[in-house]
Amino acid sequence: MRPDLQRFLADRIDEITAEVAGEVTARVPAYTHLRPGEISNLVREAIAAYSGACEARAVLPVFRALGASEACAGHDVGHFESALRTAARVLVRRTAGAAARLYPPTAEFIAVMETAFTAESEIVGAAVDSYRRAARPAVARRLHPLLSDN
């Protein structure tokens, strides 16, 4: 665990959240409705995993719920995944900057970045998988009337 890294990032949570919201709205037009207040908890959870303050699997339920809610809202999975990856790039960049400041190029820096990349992969994967699982019943409900009329 790297509490100094997590604390460093947490102290900048508002700034990081604003950057995430700005990047996502700039790169994924379908998500121009995002506001920092709406995503601050997600950023906080991701930072905990990226910094190694907790295992990525500890925050996955939050991102699975996000994926399911995006599916239920009818948002496009491609846009959703693009938004997640855009946010992840910001968080990886911020984590790398903080790690470089706290741990000059050493094995510790490399370990931090491995943790961040692993967390990114697990979080995005869980959210998209949850989206797809939640979308299946909706597709089945739409197809059922079409198939049962014959």
Mean pLDDT of 14-37: 93
- Give me the pLDDT at residue 38, please: 85
pLDDT of residue 144: 47
Q: How many domains does the chain have?
A: 1
Report CA 139 to chain centroid distance, whole Å: 25
> Are the CB atoms for 94 and 20 separated by under 8 Å?
no
pLDDT tens-digit readout, 50-61: 999 999 999 999
pLDDT band at residue 150 under the 50/70/90 scheme: very low
pLDDT average, residue stretch 98-105: 86
What is the domain range of residue 81? Answer: 3-148
Mean pLDDT of 45-74: 94
Dmax over CA atoms of the chain, in Å, equals 68
In this structure, what CATH number is given to the domain that contains residue 46?
A: 1.10.490.70
